Structure 1
Amino acid sequence: MQKTLGRPLSTDWVSTSTAAYELGISRSHLLNLKSDGTFKLGRHCRDVRRTNAMRATYKWNLPLLQKVLDKGPEIR
Structure 2
Amino acid sequence: MDFDNDVEWGTFYDIAVDDLGIQPSEFWKMSPQEFWRLHDKRVETNNRIANPGHLANNDKESLLQTLKDYRTKNGIH
Normalised by the length of structure 2, the TM-score is 0.30
CA radius of gyration, larger in = 2
Q: Which has the higher helix share?
A: 2
Q: Which has the higher strand share?
A: 1
